[in-house]
Amino acid sequence: MASYSVENLAELPDYESRMHKPILFLSSSLTVETTSKIFVTLGVIMAISAVFVVMFFLIKKVPLVILEATKGEEVEEPEADIYNTTKKKNKFIKISTRILRIIFLSLKSADIVYYLAYAIFAILGSAVHPFFFAFHLTEILRRYPTLKNVIKAIVEPRRQLGLTFLFYLILTYIFSLFAFEFFADDYQGDCSSTWSCFLTTFDFTFKANGAIGGYLDGIADPIPEDADHGYKFGRFFFDFFNNIILVVIMISIVAGIIIDTFGLLREMEEEKNKDIQEKCFICGLSKEVFDRQAEIGYDFNKHIKNDHYMWNYIFFIAFLRDKDETEYTGIESYIHERLQNADYTSWFPFHKALALKNHDEDDEDKQKRVVNSFENEIDQIRKEMNGLNTMFTGLSKKLSTF
Ligand SMILES: [Zn+2]
């Protein structure tokens, strides 16, 4: 967007003018001073709004964090202290550990850390150097969850990727041992030790076209006209396997790991979205169940906006908290008891909806049918067992007569 240029366009900019003499949009009407002023003004606006965002997040999150931080603390012991000073000291230690815990728990939240960095970089951008504003472009990652998956696709299989990289280093080392032993001359002095051999091989495997073989051919002395053009089979195998194993196969493996993870994350995301959009949050029944009942003038949207409107459940819980316990009705005291036992969902109408009574009856009928068929089968088996029993007693009687 903003082209960050230097004062004197005719000259090639040196470090000093690239660093400290910006002109916005390469414009001739702007000077270094006005450009700096624009940067500072925009930077201050940015810093202020970033601070607001941080405040907003802190207001939203810190009460929860404080709740978390104080949850584990034991109740103050009434043990009498003789010295008042130690009491004070203890209290001081307690309060400071609590504050440290709150800070630590806040920093565990990625949102808070990100927006703190946001504010810090905004201040650095306006006070130190505008290049710090580049950090704020990463906001795009937070705006689009799909992009977040791109980062996750690399971060989540980090163990796999790390181990693959270790294996890659080992393979490179083995190649460099071969190089040290047999092809040191081709390295033109860059292979005086196994360490320098390893570094050169590692460095040029991806840099040079055709991996290390391409690099070695590039630095090779021109062959004299009258020389014997004997083919170097050693170098053929060395170059070939280096290229195939280190460049082609290892890259494919890394790409495979990342693409697999990305696909998996995208599938999970899609599944989650489908769940949010096509399932009732309260009863868990899917959209199609309601669509089948469409003839009675009922549909999924009506269901989630009226009958099972999820916020009504929250309102109800808030209402219970507000209401005097002695004035609870039967249902209310039942649910209050559930909530007291940290049981927040078992009283939800799971897989049930009043509007779908037919649906429920259908299910009941089906259950009855299954139970009936089981009973019939058991009767049949019992009859057969009886028959066998009489047969056996008859047989044993006949045997005893012998
Ligand atoms: Zn529902």
Q: What is the pLDDT of residue 70?
A: 73
- Asked if the structure places residue 14 within a domain, the reply is no
Of 207, 242, 265, which one is at a domain's C-terminal end? 265
356 Cα: distance to centroid of ligand 1 (angstroms):
10
Per-residue pLDDT band at 1 (split at 50, 70, 90)? very low
340 Cα: distance to centroid of ligand 1 (angstroms):
24
313 Cα: distance to centroid of ligand 1 (angstroms):
12
Q: Do 196 and 236 share a domain, yes or no?
A: yes
336 Cα: distance to centroid of ligand 1 (angstroms):
21
pLDDT tens, residue by residue, 200-214: 889 888 888 878 888
Paired with 4 in beta bridges are: 24
Q: Do 96 and 181 share a domain, yes or no?
A: no
Domain that holds residue 114: 31-74+84-143
- Asked if the structure places residue 310 within a domain, the reply is no
Domain count, the chain: 2
Q: What is the pLDDT of residue 172?
A: 92
Q: Do 36 and 131 share a domain, yes or no?
A: yes
- Asked if the structure places residue 360 within a domain, the reply is no
Q: Do 122 and 184 share a domain, yes or no?
A: no
pLDDT tens, residue by residue, 149-170: 888 888 889 999 999 999 999 9
Q: Do 186 and 115 share a domain, yes or no?
A: no
- Asked if the structure places residue 206 within a domain, the reply is yes
**How much is the average pLDDT of 40-52?**
83
The dihedral built from the CA positions of residue 249, 255, 258 and 263, taken in this order, carries a sign that is: negative
Q: What is the pLDDT of residue 174?
A: 94
157 Cα: distance to centroid of ligand 1 (angstroms):
37
310 Cα: distance to centroid of ligand 1 (angstroms):
9
Q: Do 186 and 139 share a domain, yes or no?
A: no
Single-letter residue type at 354:
L
CA–CA gap between residue 204 and residue 216 (Å, rounded): 9
pLDDT tens, residue by residue, 63-122: 887 777 777 655 555 555 556 666 777 888 888 888 888 888 777 777 778 878 888 888
145 Cα: distance to centroid of ligand 1 (angstroms):
28
Q: pTM higher than 0.75, yes or no?
A: no
